Amino acid sequence: GAVVSQHPSRVICKSGTSVKIECRSLDFQATTMFWYRQFPKQSLMLMATSNEGSKATYEQGVEKDKFLINHASLTLSTLTVTSAHPEDSSFYICSARDRISGHLNTEAFFGQGTRLTVV
C-alpha cells in the first residue's frame, strides 16, 4: 500500500515556541491531506483539510492562526503549531489520498503520528 511519512515522530518544545510537523506521501501524489489531533485515550478529531495550492479548510473550533497548514506540493503538507502551550500537547496524525484514482480511491493512508509535548 501507499506510504505516508510523518516527521518528527516525537518533539518536545518550550512554551511559546513554534513547531513544524511534516507529512509526506512517498510513492503517490496527494491532492488532499488531512490533519487530525488525538488526545490520550480519545478518538481522532479532524482539524483541517489541506488542499495542494490552496488554503486549508479548518473544522469548527480550530484556530487557523494557531495551526498553520501549508500544502505547497503534491507530496508534502506541513502543520505548524505556533506559540505552543502545554495544552497543545497531543498526538497529531496526518492522512493523504492518492490523486490518481480521484474519487474512486476511497482509502486514506495515515502517517505514524507525531507526539508533541510542550513544556
| Residue 32 touches other proteins, criterion: CB under 8 A | yes
Could you list the beta-strand ranges (E) of 1-119: 4-7, 10-13, 19-25, 32-38, 44-51, 57-58, 67-73, 76-81, 90-97, 109-110, 114-118
Question: According to CB under 8 A, which one of 6, 25, 50, 75 is a site residue for other proteins?
Answer: 6
Residue 12 interacts with other proteins (CB under 8 A)? no
The interface with other proteins within residues 50-89 (CB under 8 A) comprises none
Is the bond leading into 40 cis (omega within 30 degrees of zero)?
Answer: no
Residues lying near other proteins in the complex (CB under 8 A): 1, 4, 6, 32, 34, 41-44, 46, 49, 91, 93, 95, 97, 103, 106-108, 110-113, 115
